[in-house]
Amino acid sequence: MDARRRPRRQGAPLTQGGSAPPVLEARGVAKTFRTGTAALAGIDATVRAGEFVTLLGPSGCGKTTLLNLFAGLAAPSSGALRWWGEPAPPDDPARRFGYVFQAPTLMPWTTIASNVRLPLDLAHVPRPRADAAVAEALALVGLTGVDRHLPRELSGGMQMRASIARALVTAPSLLLMDEPFGALDEFTRERLDAELSELWRARGLTVVFVTHSIAEAVFLSTRILVMGARPGRLLADIPVAAPFPRDDDWRTSVAFAQLARRVASRVREAGAEAHG
Amino acid sequence: MAEPGRGWRLAAPVLVLLAAILAWQALVTWRELPVWLVPSPAVVARTLVADRVLLLDSLGVTLGIALAALALAVVLGVATALLFVQSRWLEMSLFPYAVLLQVTPIVAIAPLVIIWVRDTRLALVLCATVVAIFPVIANTTLGLRSVDPGLLDLFRLSRASRWQQLWRLRAPSALPWFFGGLRIASGLALIGAVVAEFVAGTGGAGAGLAYQILLAGIQLNVPRLFAALVLITLAGVAMFAAVAWVSRIALRRWHESELERA
């Protein structure tokens, strides 16, 4: 993703903890499915503007459920959620946040350009303006010359890029990402992680990112929320105070390895406390 | 085992056909079967040529009824499926009656339809439609519901209207299913047309192939009976091939069922 072509935000801080306004808030949020499964219990969390927050945990711990609550795709059984301080998701959520699914989730019958343009088409954005936005979003994720290809003609990594372009095409300030690179090979995933990190910094985005990979969480995040299962709850809130930009040099550095090990042991401790 | 080459797709069934015709001819010649019992392929072919005006006229009538019925089944079937996906209540209340339509033998209701509808041609089309419509309804409904849940979430997140969801997401997703139903319906429409003609027994200027078969049977004109049978079969195969071709054109760029192998 060629984030460099955009002006970098002035002195992007490493972590915008305390002072930035909250974008997402969860207070005592619980979710019980109709089957009786307690997916989430007593979640208290705040995501502030400019943060890159990762929800980290094993499968079945409710990471995706929490993300879907933030997206407004489901309602909590109890507790309260706030979006930009409001008690309801913004009227036009496509404008305020982009959502990236585990799979590329592209329409197989139509071209990449038309897939990326979908949120704008659905909002009746005039065609010339929509096409310009599509071209910009595709350039941003490093996909050029494939506008007229069908999704199946692209590799898994390229399909995921198209999926991210679609999430960015409405120029949202918040990105919700549900294990977007989980199905990709390690090389592709590492490259997309690095590009996503650049994109986040360059565009001044707020990102909530779901993963079960500790290394990926450490590489990307300003803050990691560790989750445990049955019922899904927050076990630890770990700030990652490593400098940016984070690239392949950082990924292979001793500092990264030490940090990842520290986070891993905190995750284990939290798990042990929770079950002890 | 190696995949058979492209040419064999057509050549293999044609070879089987040729072998069957040769065996048939040999059997008739060897056992000296009388022509009123089993005519040889050569006799059937001669009859086809000799009676071509009569038979082709009848073929036109039957084919016209079958095609009209297929068109009507598609229009009514798709409309019903669209209604069904708009509301589970509608589907729950009405689907059993669609099944009823499917399980009731057409020969049992055809006499009623023919009595009620004055125009015989229209009555025949209606009967054939009743036979052909069920796979269109069932498959299209299933297809309109078989949507990638992720894409459905995406449409919800983008606050898509019901209409946008239907035309931009559900309709394209349903296309492969619809064509599956259409293939079955194309055969059923022809069967329905022939059966309805049998029941109606309309002769004269508007006589279809079924009537020719009926008449030839009574007159023990077995070669003509066979000739009419051959035409019906060919018509059925042609209708199926046409639908398969349209389906291929519509889906070959993206759907797994029609993708061209590299």
A140, two tokens: 């941003």
Greater pLDDT, A271 or A6: A271
Of residues A81 and A247, more confidently modeled: A81
Q: Which residues of B touch A (CB under 8 A)?
A: 148, 150-151, 153-160, 164, 168-169, 172, 175, 253-255, 259
pTM summary value: 0.83
Q: Return the pLDDT at A15.
A: 46
Q: Which of A197-211, B35-49, B95-109 has the lowest mean pLDDT?
A: B95-109
Question: For residue A31, what are the β-bridge partners?
Answer: A40
pLDDT digits (tens, 9 = 90+) for B78-93: 999 999 988 888 888 9
Superfamily holding A19-103+173-275: P-loop containing nucleotide triphosphate hydrolases (3.40.50.300)
A186-205: average pLDDT? 89
Residue to substitute from B151, B156, B257, B258, interface A, most A β-carbons within 10 A: B151
Q: What CATH topology corresponds to B60-258?
A: MetI-like fold (1.10.3720)
The residue extents of the domains of chain A are: 19-103+173-275
Question: Token digits for B127?
Answer: 């009967």
Mean pLDDT calculated for residue range A38-48 = 88
On chain A, the residues whose CB falls within 8 A of the CB of B156 are: 73
Q: Which residues of B touch A152 (CB under 8 A)?
A: 254, 259
Q: Does A153 touch chain B (CB under 8 A)?
A: no
pLDDT value for B151: 95
Cβ contact B150–A101 (<8 Å) = yes
A62 Cβ contact partners less than 8 Å away, ≥ 6 residues apart: A31, A39, A40, A227, A229, A231, A232, A233
Confidence grade of residue B261 (pLDDT, cut at 50, 70, 90): low
Q: What is the C-alpha to C-alpha distance for residues B181 and B176, in angstroms, rounded to an integer?
A: 9
Task: Tell me how far apart the alpha carbons of residues A185 and A158 are, in angstroms, rounded to a whole number.
Answer: 12
Identify the bridge partners of residue A239 per DSSP, sorted by sequence position: A223
Q: Looking at the predicted complex, does its ipTM rise above 0.90?
A: no
pLDDT tens sequence across B184-213: 999 999 999 999 988 887 766 678 899 999
Distance CA B73, CA B199 (A): 21
A103 touches chain B (CB under 8 A): yes
Residue A4: band (very low, low, confident or very high) from pLDDT cuts 50, 70, 90: very low
**Cβ pair B254:A152 closer than 8 A:** yes
Does the beta carbon of A242 lie under 8 angstroms from any beta carbon of chain B? no
CA closest to B156 among chain A residues: A73
Residues from chain B that touch A71, judged by Cβ atoms under 8 A, are: 157
Query: Does the pLDDT value for residue B178 go beyond 90?
Result: yes
Confidence class for position B254, pLDDT limits 50, 70, 90: confident
CB contact under 8 A, B148 and A105: yes
* Residues of chain B neighbouring A83 (CB-CB closer than 8 A): none
pLDDT in tens, B120-168: 889 999 999 999 999 999 999 999 999 999 999 999 988 899 999 999 9
- H helices of chain B, where? 8-31, 41-50, 52-86, 88-103, 106-116, 120-145, 149-157, 162-164, 171-200, 209-218, 222-251
More confident residue, A272 or A158: A158
**What per-residue confidence (pLDDT) applies to A12?**
42
At A70, which helix (H) or strand (E)?
helix A63-71
Q: Provide the pLDDT for residue A51.
A: 93
**Per-residue pLDDT averaged across A230-244, rounded?**
84
Residue pair A201/A245 in contact (Cβ under 8 Å)? The answer is yes
Contact A94 B157 (CB under 8 A): yes
Residue A92's pLDDT is what?
Answer: 62
**Residue percentage of chain A with pLDDT more than 70:** 91
